[in-house]
Chains A and B, each alone.
Chain A
Amino acid sequence: MDSVIEIRRLKKEYLAGENRIEAVRDISCCFEIGESVAITGVSGCGKTTLINMIGLVIQPTQGQVIINGVDSTNLTHKQRANYRNKIFGYVVQDFALVEDYTAFHNIEIPLLYSVEKMRKSERKRRILAGLEQVGLLEFATTKVRNLSGGQRQRVAIARAIINDPQIILADEPTGSLDSQNTEEVLHLLHSLVAQGKTLLLVTHDQELAQQCQRQIKMADGKLVG
């Protein structure tokens, strides 16, 4: 299998007052194309920090994130933004949706920042196709604040995949969902893996982790298994 992401000696430190806190300590590993990997560990062990560094949301204090063979340390702000737009799709616990936008407009966001310019009609076609894929076509013009938790998370997934990214970064995607919605969301995520996308799933739920092809366990900012 080819490696899509390689992280080398990744480290993240935060300053809390005068104290230096090491959220992630010297982590190295690889993620392959089309695999699903669960990153597990107790709350506060550094899972989210790790996935945010991989997704170029935050800068590591030290180390490298190599994406498709390119060292992200050398990327400009604009290039990092383009990578976030094209390479990654993000799904987070509380959906990260703009509450007073409609489902349609939330999904539109990545397309608006896309490097490849497209006509409004093409944009519309893709958004509606995305909504159909997650079973929410009839809610296109509904403001997301009026949708249920499961529906919101499906909107978030539609938004994450609208630009056809290589890697899905899912941070506790089912954390605020009931069991039925959890199952639906997981089914959606694993169907994406079946389409060849790489899924990095952050969870503290062992049951969810076991559904992934590989598990990485973190404790105290380090990989422990």
Chain B
Amino acid sequence: MIQFRFAMNDIKRNVKIVLIVIGFLLITGYFFMLMTTTLLLNLDFVNEVQRIRDENITFFRIYYPSEGSGGITSETQRWLAQALDNNRAYSFVQSPELSRRLGADVIFAFGIFDEVFDIELEGTKTSSSPFKILFGNKVNGLGEGDLIELDSHINTSIKAEVIGRLPRGASYLTPHSSRVNKLNNSIVVLAEYETWSSVYWPDSQILANMCFVNTPTGYITSFVEGIVDSSSLRIIPASFYDYVLEKNIHQIEDTVLFLLFFLSIIFLIGVGIVANLLLLIDRNLREYAIHRLYGATLTDLYLRTVIYVSTLILPPFAIVYSRLNSLFPFMTSHVDIGFVCVVISIIGIVVIIPFKKLRNQNVALCLRRD
């Protein structure tokens, strides 16, 4: 604690420079960590995409008509039901109303959603109910066997049974976003499409999220023709893997460029901190010599320097980190460890030269004013 007191004295003597450095670090650190988080999310996404690479997933790019609603007709529904309930495809829709009521993100998942994203649990298939509920690890207040009332669009009461918890780390992918959608705080309602569409009004969301898995091209072609003929929508099949990989690689390249830019600014700030430290040490040399004369060791002086540097570096990074953590609450614990390692490394690098200067200090010489 003694060295903490002396380090605080150093801060007081340098308060303007300290505030400027903290300000710069706050701004640069924010963008740096934002880019890092984006990059990690993109890489995580690409990894997940690689995992399902062999599944040969096809999704659809949808072109809406310039006039009219482009709504889904009963014939379109027949095509969707045929694909989803015959285990050729999966799709999902989000339910904002239910999410609000249950306090967790609720999605209705159809077809082979549970198989593709490995959220299948023992017992899932044995339940004959058309609506089965799985809930994420962070969802409280639900238990196996509970019956949940679902709000339908036609005032019919539907009860769904909770059949279990989702596996830890369960997630799903969609070509329309560039991140892995974690299901920790979600409720997944596994539903038969035909039953679901009899009580809910489907919209084009279900088609936008529709993905065929390992389906012969001929079937997909006839599906596309069926949809185009039965609705005013135009859909074009595309490879999920190729599409998201291409889109993400561009994003990753852009993010890396930004990251390098902010990294170079942080490097310059680091150089500034080192210069400031060297000036501080120069000014304090006599004081250090007096302390060493009366019992301080080099370790004490190193500690004082580390505390000074940490006071400059830690608060901005902590503020930035807590802000980003609130933006991306799904960041996992290894990101926390990575963050701590990065900050410790920065402090370590910054103090190398000042430590050398302290080690080479000639106490006797510093005590002589001449």
Contacts and interface: CB of A to CB of B under 8 A. Distances in A.
Contacts of A100: 13
A94 B289 CA distance: 13
B293 A112 contact: no
Contact of A57 (B287, B298, B363, B369): B363
Contacts of B2: 112-113
Contacts of B286: 96, 98
Interface stretch (A84-92, A125-133, A207-215): A84-92
B294 A109 contact: yes
Interface stretch (A34-42, A74-82, A198-206): A74-82
Contact of A85 (B287, B290, B294): B294
A109 B2 CA distance: 10
B295 A82 contact: yes
Contacts, number: 53
B298 A84 contact: no
Given A98-B287, A109-B290, A113-B2, A85 B367 contact: no
A113 B293 CA distance: 10
A94 B369 contact: yes
A97 B297 contact: no
Interface in A56-82: 57-58, 77-78, 81-82
Contacts of A58: 363-364
Contact of A110 (B294, B300, B364, B368): B294
A113 B300 contact: yes
Contacts of B289: 96
B11 to A, nearest CB: 14
A159 interface: yes
B46 to A, nearest CB: 52
A113 B300 CA distance: 9
B293 A90 contact: yes
A52 interface: yes
Interface string B33-69: 0000000000000000000000000000000000000
A52 B286 CA distance: 16
Contacts of B287: 98
A94 B295 CA distance: 20
Among B286, B290, B300, max chain A CB count under 10 A is at B290
Interface residues of B, number: 20
Given A81-B296, A81-B297, A109 B291 contact: yes
Given A58-B363, A81-B297, A113-B295, A97 B290 contact: yes
Interface in B263-292: 286-287, 289-292
A57 B289 CA distance: 10
B169 to A, nearest CB: 49
Contacts of A159: 294
B367 A96 contact: yes
Contacts of A90: 293-294
Interface in A2-53: 48-49, 52
A89 to B, nearest CB: 9
A98 B286 CA distance: 8
Do most interface residues of chain B lie in helix, strand or loop, or is the interface mixed? helix
A110 B367 CA distance: 16
A96 B295 contact: no
A215 to B, nearest CB: 24
Contact of A81 (B13, B292, B368, B369): B292
B367 A78 contact: no
A114 interface: yes
Contacts of B292: 81, 84
A97 B368 CA distance: 11
B364 A84 contact: no
B294 A84 contact: yes
A111 B263 CA distance: 44
Interface string B79-112: 0000000000000000000000000000000000
B295 A110 contact: yes
A81 B294 CA distance: 7
Given A52-B364, A81-B297, A113 B291 contact: yes
Nearest to B5: A112
A180 B35 CA distance: 70
Interface string A154-192: 000001000000000000000000000000000000000
Interface string A85-123: 110001010101110100000000110111000000000
A77 B298 contact: yes
Instruction: Kindly list the 8 A-B residue pairs having the minimum CB-CB distance in the complex, ordered from nearest.
Output: A85-B295, A113-B295, A110-B294, A94-B369, A81-B297, A112-B2, A52-B364, A109-B294
Given A57-B293, A77-B298, A96-B286, 19 more contacts: A48-B364, A49-B364, A57-B367, A58-B364, A77-B297, A81-B292, A81-B297, A84-B295, A90-B294, A92-B367, A96-B293, A96-B367, A98-B286, A98-B290, A109-B290, A109-B291, A109-B294, A110-B295, A113-B296
27 contacts: A48-B364, A49-B364, A52-B364, A57-B293, A57-B363, A57-B367, A58-B363, A77-B297, A77-B298, A82-B295, A85-B294, A85-B295, A86-B295, A90-B294, A94-B368, A94-B369, A96-B289, A96-B290, A96-B293, A97-B290, A98-B286, A100-B13, A110-B294, A112-B2, A113-B291, A113-B296, A159-B294
Interface of B: 2, 13, 286-287, 289-298, 300, 363-364, 367-369
Interface of A: 48-49, 52, 57-58, 77-78, 81-82, 84-86, 90, 92, 94, 96-98, 100, 109-110, 112-114, 159
